[in-house]
Structure 1
């Protein structure tokens, strides 16, 4: 081949690649399980310089890593449960972050949280805990972020225990270990559901479990007693207050025949009860538990009740529940059975609801109009919780930064900022407090800095936080919350 022919061939190939690169979607093409990306001529000739968001103030922010001592005696743990740590506001601790991490109030009215703050000031004197429900998507599943907030609330205001936990979950918990016996079957509001189980009775945790098959009332039971159980134990890696429980509550119901259940610690039965057949919520309660000691609960019946959750908690202080809903964008709340929810809410009496959603809406949003519609929808979610819980404060945590690959660089997902703005506007308009996680963590393209931090503060999916990152998020939120609490306390002695 002559030099001229060779040059012509190379120019033809380069021109074809340049044309293909110019037409190739910036986000790439997903095929055969692989994301195929191709740089265009502009990226090759004038590559973008990768700018890093400075998160040094976040990296240097100290977080608590005090863990539970599983060898501690019950007396030591019980004494620790009764102790609260005095809080001293250090106004110089977060000057670079002070504005970014602040809570946003409806009409800038900080009195919205004053009833909650007043209750927290009396938390240690109460005979029942002040309840905090933390709902969210996969960012909080497994007790991530929630576990840190629980630790901070309970260290400051007293209380203990992991709060509400389901019989089973799709991921291990950071705070407790479950050991199951019997044929437990988990049912959830999320994902595909059985056509004969569309009743909506999933409770506050949005899932329940049973140990016999769910059968229509028209199908006869086998008449054989089935037995199942669960052991709940604080994990060694958990924060100390997780083991500081002294009572257990069980939420269950909708069983066609009687149910026998027992609760034991260290082989000693502390409580046993027989439940009559019921088509409604029932609540069992056992006090006098040994703090830090595993709790064993067994059930026996020929028709399993729907078990909506087990709560290990202290008699006072604060109790914080983790309600992670993988894949959720908060659409599922409309499908939950309102009667069951109201029954559980009445028993739990939460004073604060934290809603952390938005990330799972992003794949379906491709325009500013769709972002606005999602924000409007979420305003109705806030309204729904206000109807369910008129005495509870509501704080919405917006989505974090999330990255996609464009060429050789990772950039913030398209329309994420519009979604964040729409959520903030609609939540504030409906009386909720808003915490802007996107801005708090550094804003646009900050996720890259979190992934590349040492140690990494986020996973290489450029979406989820690492355990260290989850603690940082918890510390940022807590700093904003407790600073406002301290300011209000000075104004309202």
Structure 2
């Protein structure tokens, strides 16, 4: 092949490749700045007429959030600190009314459970925030027990609300290891042949309070033998999700031994017969999109046999891992179907999306809030807005820009020097803010 023909073919292949990328960029919606400058068909394709409204903010560097304007809704309410909003323009009307109705029934003396699932990352690891949130709710509305506890946890020794120890070999699958789509809400699944675990609930102060201790597990094809406090018994959990009673008495302690490695085990729950129960579902380093992996039919089975009245979703800090990131529209695209999926699987639950807290990076000679945090909070608010969920701006509740820096430098400090994580004192502050916001909403509801 002579050189002229090689040059000709090189030009043809190059133009063809650029044409293919240009067309793909238009119709698949991805962008890369070098190709934006030489898109071969960009001027031939006219964008569709925009029928939505862009909600702008004073931050010119932020990525605009585009929302559908609804006359009865006010999206900008997401910016209000310490307000739980369902974006109703009439702010005298309470959000999460079904949940509040159940709280009010408890306060009026009705005997029932009000169960809350609180999902999050390392911000609530070790029962941070949720331990205070649980305590405040149980003191106000009744209830006892720490709720759900996983079989094993990397922060088991750090957690103050329950003591946990295990023996034997426990195999684990979780969001980061294994391929199971039947992980529990905690993001974990455990199996063992001959292992044991013992737990003591350390939240209950009333020595006469009755606690039901329950094993939460998946199905197994044949009956299995387990030991509960050194006594042997046989169980046959055959539903997609099972809650097996291990005892219903004043004891805070339970020891469980298992011998069948086919039995998927999730954890043990400590719950009173009536009152508020708050389950902590923390998983370090995730953003919430991991729940797309869990089978919808399994989630629906959990909702049927272990229902929640309120589901709280608090993520975001792990999206702020690069100091100059500002565009989180990709997160909205991948997270929206996850929230919709959970809402469909838990149709009787109210949903509250909690924004990221503040986090800081070093810019020049000083630490400041991440430059993209306003953009991320707007995206998280949009997720709530578009799924008919309620929203709570944790970033604003902390104090807004540079609050994590101020918290870390207080005496005594409210945050760690990593400028990411509130410490125990800071977590208590955040829990009080959220509890107070719920109580203000309850006051609106009962007027």
Q: Structure 2: 5+ residue runs without aligned partners?
A: 1-78
Matches within 5 A, 1:266-415: 269=231, 273-276=233-236, 278=238, 280-291=240-251, 293-301=252-260, 303-363=261-321, 367-368=325-326, 370-415=327-372
CA offsets 1:5-28 (integer angstroms, 9 cap, x no match): xxxxxxxxxxxxxxxxxxxxxxxx
Q: Partner of 1:261 in structure 2? A: 226
3-state SS of paired residue (1:419): helix
Whether the 8 Å CA contact 1:101–1:439 is kept in 2: the answer is yes
3-state SS of paired residue (1:231): strand
Q: Partner of 1:71 in structure 2? A: none
* Inter-CA distance 394–448: structure 2 relative to 1 (3 Å threshold): same
Whether the 8 Å CA contact 1:375–1:419 is kept in 2: the answer is no
Query: Which of residues 72, 85, 106 in structure 2 aligns to 1:123?
Result: 106
* Inter-CA distance 242–123: structure 2 relative to 1 (3 Å threshold): farther
* Inter-CA distance 448–428: structure 2 relative to 1 (3 Å threshold): same
* Inter-CA distance 276–353: structure 2 relative to 1 (3 Å threshold): closer
Pair 1:152 & 2:160 matched: no
Q: Partner of 1:199 in structure 2? A: 180
Deviation at residue 126 of structure 1 after TM alignment:
5.4
Q: Partner of 1:443 in structure 2? A: 400
Deviation at residue 429 of structure 1 after TM alignment:
2.7
CA offsets 1:257-288 (integer angstroms, 9 cap, x no match): 54112323xx7x5xx53234858433312453
Measure the CA separation in 1 of the matches of 2:426 and 2:367. 19
Measure the CA separation in 2 of the matches of 1:166 and 1:104. 32
Q: Partner of 1:59 in structure 2? A: none
CA offsets 1:221-254 (integer angstroms, 9 cap, x no match): xxxxxx222111134xx47479955212212134
Measure the CA separation in 2 of the matches of 1:113 and 1:187. 34
Whether the 8 Å CA contact 1:161–1:242 is kept in 2: the answer is no
3-state SS of paired residue (1:284): strand
Measure the CA separation in 1 of the matches of 2:258 and 2:377. 45
Q: Partner of 1:467 in structure 2? A: 424
Q: Partner of 1:183 in structure 2? A: 169
CA offsets 1:8-62 (integer angstroms, 9 cap, x no match): xxxxxxxxxxxxxxxxxxxxxxxxxxxxxxxxxxxxxxxxxxxxxxxxxxxxxxx
Pair 1:229 & 2:196 matched: yes
3-state SS of paired residue (2:101): helix
* Inter-CA distance 290–116: structure 2 relative to 1 (3 Å threshold): same
Whether the 8 Å CA contact 1:376–1:422 is kept in 2: the answer is no
3-state SS of paired residue (1:465): coil
CA offsets 1:285-315 (integer angstroms, 9 cap, x no match): 2453214x311222233x3411012111000
Measure the CA separation in 1 of the matches of 2:296 and 2:208. 32
Q: Partner of 1:220 in structure 2? A: none
Measure the CA separation in 2 of the matches of 1:425 and 1:287. 44
Measure the CA separation in 1 of the matches of 2:276 and 2:83. 23
Q: State the TM-score, normalized to the length of structure 2.
A: 0.76
3-state SS of paired residue (1:296): strand
Deviation at residue 115 of structure 1 after TM alignment:
1.3
Whether the 8 Å CA contact 2:207–2:250 is kept in 1: the answer is no
Q: CA RMSD in A?
A: 2.4
Whether the 8 Å CA contact 2:408–2:419 is kept in 1: the answer is yes
Deviation at residue 454 of structure 1 after TM alignment:
1.3
3-state SS of paired residue (1:178): strand
3-state SS of paired residue (1:329): coil
Whether the 8 Å CA contact 2:164–2:200 is kept in 1: the answer is yes
Whether the 8 Å CA contact 1:244–1:313 is kept in 2: the answer is no
3-state SS of paired residue (1:308): strand
3-state SS of paired residue (2:277): strand
Whether the 8 Å CA contact 1:106–1:432 is kept in 2: the answer is no
CA offsets 1:355-408 (integer angstroms, 9 cap, x no match): 00011112268554x323323433333322210111111111101111001222
Measure the CA separation in 2 of the matches of 1:376 and 1:242. 49
Query: Which of residues 370, 373, 387 in structure 2 aligns to 1:430?
Result: 387
Q: Structure 1: 5+ residue runs without aligned partners?
A: 1-97, 213-226
* Inter-CA distance 374–181: structure 2 relative to 1 (3 Å threshold): same
3-state SS of paired residue (2:280): strand
* Inter-CA distance 430–256: structure 2 relative to 1 (3 Å threshold): closer
3-state SS of paired residue (1:394): strand
Measure the CA separation in 2 of the matches of 1:229 and 1:440. 42
CA offsets 1:297-345 (integer angstroms, 9 cap, x no match): 22233x3411012111000111100000111111111101223222222
